[in-house]
Amino acid sequence: MSPPVRFQTSRPTLAGREMEYVQDAVRTAWISGQGSYLKRFESAVSNYLQLEDGIAVSSGTAALHLVLKTLGLGPGMDVVVPAFSFVACANAVTYCGASPVFADCDRTTRNLTLESIEAATTPDTKGVLLVHLFGQPAPIQQVRHFCEARRLWLLEDCAQCFGAKTAGQFTGQFGDMAVFSFYGNKVISTGEGGMIFARDSGKRDLIRCLRNQGLDSGRHHWHSQLGFNYRMTNLAAAIGCGQMEMADYHIQERRRIATRYRTNLLPLEEQGLLTLPTDPPGSSSVYWLYSLVLRRGGEAKKERVREIALEKYGIQTRPFYIPMHRLPVYRREQPFPEAEFLGEHGIVLPTYSSLSDADVDEISRALSEIIFEVFEEDKIE
């Protein structure tokens, strides 16, 4: 019989005033898409990230969809999207009737490269959806210069990198627009939720209209265009306010955990068994979820490691994304070798703010034993 799960891959840490604020929202009966916590949360995130006038929405996916609609994306248009990322990126493009054109990633950073973006650009390309994956900043400055030269818009997907910096600036400050996610496993969580930042004030007005069923702000029940129900609730924003008061804590906790994992697992990297993430030059990552990549063995070895971790030690892990060109809905014959390698060899480790140093040490010891055991099987065979 397998032991119970002792370490989840991720969970929110609600260590601040979240409960107090939620109870206040319930007590005052402001529990849906209006209420004081919404503006407070929008302001708190905007001020922290040094960005202007954030717009809270119901999810990170909703944020992507609204931004792409606001940018006028439609049929016959292409968007460069990572082949290795969460499927919401391609889905949001498809919702608009446009086509995601996949680009390969760098095996070390897991992010898009300028070269892969150039290779994926077509005559119909309108923009680039650049994801800062696993909390590590992508080469945003290079990509911004490329987009400016080609007159393409640049959308930063910062769902996994709240608080990360590159070139001394927060991710989200470089693109024409940026989106964030506050799902339950993110650095800052509202359970479900997202936020949009747009440089252009006219686009911000349009986003607010579209998130609320196309309702004009100055006239009751006057819907000037087709919109969506993408509002964040006041309850979710109340949780977010509690989270934002401890934003520095949550970011530093991710970095503490990553540093300890790296110290503990570095001998395995030095022996050529796996690769660990590192900060890209000039960047400070937030390590949304800490991960490792086995150097060999493919899907079978990866799943063997995960199986033993759960069944013997109660350690829950998660595989990397299946590259989108291998999913039935986005099947492509074109190979993306780096994305494919990561999908077959990557493992996400438990990462959340309440994970203690002793917990990280225990997980590291168990994984070290497992990885040695799994690769020792090759010698026995």
Q: Does residue 368 belong to any structural domain of this protein? A: yes
Q: How far is CA 225 from CA 65, 71, 206, 214, in A?
A: 16, 15, 10, 5
Which phi and psi (to 5°) does residue 371 adopt?
-65, -40
The single-letter DSSP state of residue 75 is T
pLDDT exceeds cutoff 80 at 93 = yes
Closest by CA position to 13, among listed 358, 261, 252? 252
- Which residues, including other chains, have CB under 8 Å from residue 167's CB and lie 6 or more apart? 141, 282, 283
Asked if 75 and 165 sit in the same domain, the reply is yes
Task: Give yes or no for a contact between 84 and 340, defined as CB atoms under 8 angstroms apart.
Answer: no
Assign 378 a pLDDT band (cuts: 50, 70, 90): low
pLDDT exceeds cutoff 80 at 119 = yes
Alpha-carbon span 345 to 53, nearest angstrom: 40
pLDDT exceeds cutoff 70 at 1 = no
pLDDT exceeds cutoff 90 at 376 = no
Mean pLDDT within 84-99: 98
Q: Give the helix ranges, DSSP H, for the chain.
A: 18-27, 36-49, 60-70, 88-95, 114-120, 140-150, 201-211, 234-244, 247-270, 298-313, 337-345, 357-380
Asked if 217 and 265 sit in the same domain, the reply is no
Q: How many CA atoms, within 13 angstroms, populate the side-chain half-sphere of residue 303?
A: 5
Asked if 237 and 256 sit in the same domain, the reply is no
pLDDT exceeds cutoff 90 at 381 = no
Asked if 358 and 221 sit in the same domain, the reply is no
Predicted TM-score of the model (pTM): 0.95
- What is the CB neighbour count within 10 angstroms for residue 93? 25
Q: Does residue 177 belong to any structural domain of this protein? A: yes
83: domain CATH number is 3.40.640.10
* b/e burial code for range 285-320 (CB count within 10 A of at least 16 → b): bbbbbbbbbbbebeeebbebbbebbbeebebbbbbb
Which phi and psi (to 5°) does residue 212 adopt?
-120, 50
Q: Does residue 11 belong to any structural domain of this protein? A: no
Q: Does residue 5 belong to any structural domain of this protein? A: no
- The string of pLDDT tens digits covering residues 285-303 is 999 999 999 999 999 999 9
Closest by CA position to 367, among listed 257, 274, 272, 259? 274
Of 211, 244, 277, which one is at a domain's C-terminal end?
244
pLDDT exceeds cutoff 90 at 5 = yes
Asked if 240 and 251 sit in the same domain, the reply is no
Asked if 284 and 233 sit in the same domain, the reply is no
Q: Does residue 9 belong to any structural domain of this protein? A: no
Assign 216 a pLDDT band (cuts: 50, 70, 90): confident
Of 244, 273, 300, which one is at a domain's C-terminal end?
244
- The string of pLDDT tens digits covering residues 74-88 is 999 999 999 999 999
Q: Does residue 91 belong to any structural domain of this protein? A: yes
Of 208, 226, 244, which one is at a domain's C-terminal end?
244
- The string of pLDDT tens digits covering residues 306-329 is 999 999 999 999 999 999 999 999
Alpha-carbon span 159 to 131, nearest angstrom: 8
Q: How many domains does the chain have?
A: 2
Asked if 374 and 234 sit in the same domain, the reply is no
- The string of pLDDT tens digits covering residues 37-60 is 999 999 999 999 999 999 999 999
DSSP characters over 76-140: T-EEEEESSS-THHHHHHHHTT-EEEEE-B-TTT-SB-HHHHHHH--TTEEEEEEE-GGGPPP-H
Closest by CA position to 255, among listed 277, 288, 281, 282? 288
Which one-letter amino acid corresponds to residue 9? T
Q: What is the percentage of the chain residues whose pLDDT exceeds 90?
A: 94
The pLDDT of residue 3 is 74
Asked if 103 and 78 sit in the same domain, the reply is yes
Structure tokens at 259: 């540093």
348: domain CATH number is 3.90.1150.10
pLDDT exceeds cutoff 70 at 281 = yes
Alpha-carbon span 216 to 222, nearest angstrom: 6
Mean pLDDT within 91-104: 98
Asked if 179 and 323 sit in the same domain, the reply is no
Asked if 87 and 44 sit in the same domain, the reply is yes
Identify the domain containing residue 323 by its residue range.
Answer: 247-380
Q: Does residue 3 belong to any structural domain of this protein? A: no
The pLDDT of residue 2 is 67
Closest by CA position to 320, among listed 345, 352, 285? 345
Q: Out of 191-195, 314-318, 373-377, pick the least confident.
A: 373-377
Asked if 285 and 364 sit in the same domain, the reply is yes
Report the side by side order of strands in the sheet with 291-294.
274-275, 291-294, 346-348, 318-319
